[in-house]
């Protein structure tokens, strides 16, 4: 399935820069530590995506960005090693044509919601209203039995994508979470506010019964917040670079 390097359209420097900034933002905001990754679909070829080589997000530069096909074969700017879980990205891009960016992380506030039984992440305020249609939990045991917990094959990537369905966020039991968006900025926004919602929800649940956003409130707030990503991005970029 892999193609000759000459066939691969060169990435736009502005996009490379945006992806590098996204890596730094996710690290500075503690969505990722040394682990986790973010990708973007190639704007000129929807069968390709861009993501860093095997490297901590906080250290990524434009020189570290590799181009992969949707089977997650590296095609351009080859490196000694790649993220073993790149199939998360490739398989979701296959299943979700409207998705243009994917974040995978082990953000601290999200692990408890993936591991504790009988609790559901729900939107507690307008900033995370995009959670309003539900947040599924991927149980890798159902897809692969006993594993090392990692999504290191196309098959597991596809199973994860099926659990995600048409939603923006999926939690992964004993592992982390994956978020998608129509752009890098949307995916980063969702990653940061999914984690923030988890912090807020944990605290609120200890105080008493929680009034979450109603389904209609969540839909309306999601629509409005979609106009504010640039404002948030400028803030996070200043902090991270």
Contact with its own copies (CB under 8 A) among 111, 135, 143, 180:
111
Shortest Cβ 21–its own copies spacing (Å): 15
Nearer to its own copies, 1 or 146 (CB): 146
Phi, psi of 235 (to 5 degrees): -65, -50
Binding segment (CB under 8 A) for its own copies, from list 8-16, 38-46, 86-94, 224-232? 224-232
Select from 146, 140, 130 the least CA-distant residue to 221. Answer: 130
85 is catalytic: yes
Residue 158 near its own copies by CB under 8 A: no
Distance CA 7, CA 14 (A): 21
Specify the DSSP class assigned to residue 137.
Answer: E
Near its own copies by CB under 8 A, which window of 6-14, 143-151, 159-167, 179-187? 143-151
Which has the closest alpha carbon to 36: 17, 21, 49, 52?
A: 52
Q: Spell out the residues 6+ positions from residue 25 whose beta carbon is closer than 8 angstroms to its own.
A: 188, 192, 233, 236, 237, 239, 240
Residue 80 engages its own copies in binding (rule: CB under 8 A): no
Least distance from its own copies to the Cβ atom of residue 128, Å: 10
Query: For residues 241 and 236, what is the distance between their CA atoms, to the nearest angstrom?
Result: 9
| Secondary structure class of 174 (helix, strand, coil) | coil
With binding defined as CB under 8 A, does residue 177 bind its own copies? no
113 part of the interface to its own copies, by CB under 8 A? yes
Cβ distance to its own copies smaller for residue 94 or 147: 147
Rounded Cα gap, residues 210 and 207, in angstroms = 8
Sign, CA torsion 138/55/52/231: positive
- Chain residues binding its own copies by CB under 8 A are 33-35, 54-56, 58-59, 84, 106, 108-109, 111-113, 115-119, 124-127, 129, 141, 146-150, 173-176, 196, 199-200, 202-214, 216-217, 220-221, 223-224, 228, 231-232, 234-236, 238-239
């Amino acid at each position: 399935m892999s193609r000759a390097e000459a066939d691969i359209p060169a990435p736009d420097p502005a996009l490379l820069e945006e992806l590098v900034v996204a890596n730094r933002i996710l690290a500075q905001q503690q969505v990722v530590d040394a682990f986790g990754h973010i990708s973007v679909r190639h704007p000129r070829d929807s069968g390709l995506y861009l993501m860093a080589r095997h490297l901590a997000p906080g250290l990524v530069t434009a020189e570290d960005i590799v181009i992969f096909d949707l089977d997650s074969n590296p095609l351009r700017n080859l490196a000694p090693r790649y993220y073993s879980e790149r199939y998360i990205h490739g398989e979701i891009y296959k299943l979700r044509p409207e998705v243009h960016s994917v974040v995978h992380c082990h953000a601290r506030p999200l692990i408890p919601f993936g591991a504790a039984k009988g609790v559901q992440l729900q939107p507690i305020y307008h900033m995370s209203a995009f959670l309003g249609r539900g947040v599924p939990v991927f149980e890798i045991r159902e897809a692969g039995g006993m594993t090392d917990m990692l999504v290191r094959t196309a098959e597991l990537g596809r199973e994860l994508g099926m659990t995600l369905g048409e939603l923006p966020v999926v939690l992964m039991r004993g592992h982390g979470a994956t978020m998608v968006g129509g752009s890098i900025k949307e995916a980063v926004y969702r990653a940061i506010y999914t984690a923030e919602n988890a912090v807020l929800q944990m605290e609120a649940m200890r105080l008493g019964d929680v009034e979450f956003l109603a389904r209609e409130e969540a839909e309306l707030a999601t629509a409005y917040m979609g106009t504010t990503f640039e404002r948030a991005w400028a803030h996070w970029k200043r902090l991270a670079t």
